[in-house]
Amino acid sequence: MSLYTMLPDATVVSFEPNPTVFRKLQRLTRKFPRLTVIPNGLSDQTGDAELFVPVYNGNILTRLASFDYESAKNWLNSDHVLLFDPAKLTVSSKRLPLIRLDDCRLQPDFIKIDVQGLEHRVLAGGLETIRTYRPVIMAEAIRCRSDAHRIVEPLDYRLMEFDGRAFAEVRGTPRRLNQFLIPAERLPDPP
C-alpha cells in the first residue's frame, strides 16, 4: 500500500466486495495494522447487486470487475488487447453485498473511489458523511456536470486535476485519469 509510504500512521478503511480481491487485501492487514478491509461494495442503497467479472481466454480478470455489466464486458476490445478475439470473452457474475458510506459512521479526510462509472452512487450513499467531514475525493473519470459532479457541486466542491506540480480546475474534458473533488475551503493556494 503506497499510501503508507507517505503516511505511515494513516487509518485506511477499504471497501472491497470482490471476494478474490478482498482476500488479498485482508492479508495486507497483518503488515498494516491500521488497515481495515470491509467485504462490501459502496452504493446509494443497502442490498445486493450483481458483480460482473470478465474472463478472457480462461483468465479471470478481477481487476476489471464492475457492478455495471457494460463496463465489465466492453473494456476488453481491440483497442486494449492485441489480436483481441471477442469469442474468447465471457462475463461471469456473483451477487455481493452493498452498503451506504453514510451507514458506516466514518470520519474521512480523503476518499478514493474506483467503481467504473458508478461514482455517483457511492457519492449519493455518502452525501451526509461528505457534507459533515468535507473530505477530498479522488476518482477515475469524473466529468464536469456528470451525475457524480452534480451531487457534490452544491456542497461547494470543485472538480480538479493534479499535473504532478499543481491542481487546476477542470472546465471541459479531463486530461488525466484521476480527478479530485475538493471542497472550496481545502483548495490549495495557486502556485
pLDDT for residue 3 = 80
Record the pTM. Answer: 0.87
Give me the amino acid identity at 67.
F
Spans of all domains in the chain: 48-96, 106-191
Can you list the positions of beta strands (E) in the chain?
12-15, 35-38, 41-42, 47-56, 59-60, 89-99, 110-113, 136-140, 157-162, 167-169, 178-183
* Beta-ladder partners of 180: 138, 160
8-state DSSP, 46: S
pLDDT for residue 48 = 95
pLDDT for residue 190 = 65
pLDDT for residue 144 = 87
pLDDT for residue 2 = 73
The two counts, helices (H) then strands (E), for the chain are: 6, 11
Residue-wise pLDDT tens for the chain (191 aa)? Answer: 578 888 888 899 999 999 989 999 999 999 999 999 999 999 999 999 999 999 999 999 988 888 889 989 998 899 988 999 999 999 999 999 999 999 999 999 999 998 888 999 999 999 999 999 999 999 987 888 889 999 999 999 999 998 888 888 888 777 777 899 999 999 877 65
Q: Is the separation of the CB atoms in 181 and 157 below 8 Å?
A: yes
CA angle 6, 14, 32 (to 5 degrees): 50
Q: Is the separation of the CB atoms in 37 and 22 below 8 Å?
A: yes
